[in-house]
Amino acid sequence: MTTRLWTLGEWTALPEDTSCRFELEDGVMLVGPNPGPRHQFVATKLALALQEQLPEPWEVLPAVEVITRPAFPACVRVPDIVVVDGNAIDWNAEQLAAADVLVAIEIMEPGTREADTGRKRLEYAEAGIRHYWMVVPTPPVSLTVGSSSATGRVVLDLPFPIELDLTELTSRRRRTERMMNR
């Protein structure tokens, strides 16, 4: 069996298809299912928590294609969340260059753990993405940044000061309810 290796130009020319999650790893097209409800719920809650605290001009984008290697064999990833400089990116582009991404975040599921902790971590670093976070969405929700992992309330200084209550990422209470109970 021969595997067809895709160039970045061929990849970019493909029509948009949201029926599955597509990535390009060393020129090989990877096809997987779209994330399930729990995964999407945690990703949405995390994106909202980050966006509330990010200083200008940083912005949060969910599930956008990031070109981690434009040269053949090309690599294109779809991190669950990225943080970008909203003043520096091309808002009309179909994909982002890795240089546009300050933080790449993956929500780890049992079927993605090996890729998230191994290949993607290395690929993002080689592409110049300085900050890579991994979130395990099952309670107790954990966040891994570099070689440190934490649960509960997390305070980070880099790449910007931020405080996250990881227990809130699986809470179905609305933000207005939490604010009223403070």
Domain boundaries, the chain: 37-63+80-180
β-pairing, 58-62 with 101-107?
Answer: unpaired
Contact 80, 106 (CB under 8 A): yes
> Rounded to whole angstroms, how far apart are CA atoms 101 and 126?
13
- Partnered with residue 66 across adjacent β-strands are 77, 96
pLDDT per position in the chain (182 positions), as tens?
557 899 999 999 999 999 999 999 999 999 999 999 999 999 999 999 999 999 999 999 999 999 999 999 999 999 999 999 999 999 999 999 999 999 999 999 988 888 999 999 999 999 999 999 999 999 999 999 999 999 999 999 989 999 999 999 999 876 555 555 55
Strands 101-107 and 131-136, by their bridges, are parallel
Superfamily of domain 37-63+80-180: tt1808, chain A (3.90.1570.10)
Per DSSP bridges, beta strands 148-151 and 162-165 are unpaired
63: left (phi over 0), alpha (psi -120 to 50) or beta: left
